[in-house]
Amino acid sequence: MNLSTAQIEAIKQGEPVRIDAPEVGTDCFVVRADVFERIKTLLYDDEPLSPDEKTRLLVEAGLRAGWDDPEMDIYNRELP
């Protein structure tokens, strides 16, 4: 990859540089590694789910599956 002097200067200043990447099939951005690390924390959360997050996701999945349907109340009465 060959960057122009202007692109190199922009990257040095912490600015993203859009590059044409036909091999990839789309344009891409080049940024300094320290800038990427800051951005990455905003985009990706690699931390394990908290118990509250797990509970919320389970409740949402149950609601999508229809567990709030009144006909499903029989399972609450039949199971101890």
For 29-80, the pLDDT digits (tens) are: 999 999 999 888 888 877 888 999 999 999 999 889 888 888 878 877 776 6
Q: For the chain, what are the domain ranges?
A: 5-43, 48-80
Q: What type of residue is 33?
A: A
Asked if 21 and 27 count as a contact pair (C-beta separation under 8 A), the reply is: yes
Our CA dihedral for 43, 46, 50, 55, rounded to 10 degrees, sits at: 70
Centroid of chain to Cα 39: 11
Nearest to 10 by CA among 18, 22, 20: 18
CA distance 32 to 52: 36
pTM of the full structure? 0.50
Asked if 49 and 61 count as a contact pair (C-beta separation under 8 A), the reply is: no
